[in-house]
Amino acid sequence: RWAIVQRLLGFGIWYQLTGIVPAILNGWVPLVVGRMEGKDAVGLVNWAFALASVPLAMSSVLNRVAYPAYSRMQQDAEALAEYLRTSIRRISAVLLVVVPFGVIALPFLIPVLFGARWTPAIPLVQWFMLEGAMQAVHGLLNSQQYASGHARERVYVLIGSSSLRFGLGALAVMHWGIVGIGVTATAITLTELYLSAWLVARRSPHLAGLEFQVLEPFLTVGALLALAVGLSRLATGQHGVLVQALVGAGALAVLVLVRERSRHGLSLVGELRAVVAHVRGRRASS
């Protein structure tokens, strides 16, 4: 019956488009990079993206759990809001403790583990790792959009962000080389993260202020990471990448502890303790 087909397509097509749209619009990378930088650059971009995605595999597992969980909690708006906030806080805390130190260590680790030929891809891997951490949190917001039946909003955001990735990405490659892809992707993902948080929060009074909770840790820890990297390069001068990594990691650790003392925004240490306590409690109960 055509009426039934129309009703099902009107609801379900938006879920399918969330996978189709980025697959189509993100195909610009091999075309643009291959034409501007050559086929070797395309290989570096693909390799950098694959490597940066490995530590974030847990986010895909979390999203598969979050989607049905959010779906079942739609009738209890207050509990759903608390569950979403808790999920975002904890995944953010774990990633923002691990990823920034990984970013600092990459200039030393990549040549040692993979060889010097992959050195040109180091900055791109660093940017992709930062973007991947944001994407992990973004996946939770998307799961809530899907679970509440608002996949259409996600499609609109995808079309806009994918178009920006193409336009700004091409300009960035033209001026900065392949590193420009990482810079623009991170900036656009941060903007997309804010927009998705706003779209989710505006549908529930229990989610007021979600945008700040989502963006604050990425902005503050990102700024501290940039400061730590700058300090390490100034302090070590022409010393090797291992010395720079050690100094940068030490500086970042001190800066993060100072941030924890300020008690503004997400407490990374506090959330990690909550995660450990939760895991221990689950083990004890089983």
CA distance 67 to 18: 15
In tens, the pLDDT along 141-150 reads 999 999 988 8
CA distance 170 to 176: 10
pLDDT at 65: 86
Q: How many CB atoms lie within 10 A of CB 91?
A: 23
pLDDT at 235: 79
pLDDT at 67: 87
* pLDDT band, very low/low/confident/very high, at 86 (cuts 50, 70, 90): very high
pLDDT at 162 over 90: no
Question: Among residues 9, 13, 4, 2, which one has the least CA distance to residue 151?
Answer: 13
* pTM of the predicted model over 0.95: no
**Averaged pLDDT, 260-275:** 85
Cβ(157)–Cβ(196) below 8 Å: yes
**Averaged pLDDT, 135-159:** 91
Alpha helices in the chain (DSSP H): 2-25, 28-37, 39-53, 57-72, 77-114, 122-147, 151-176, 179-201, 210-236, 241-262, 268-285
In tens, the pLDDT along 194-236 reads 999 999 999 899 999 999 999 999 999 999 999 999 999 887 7
Percent of the chain with pLDDT over 90: 55
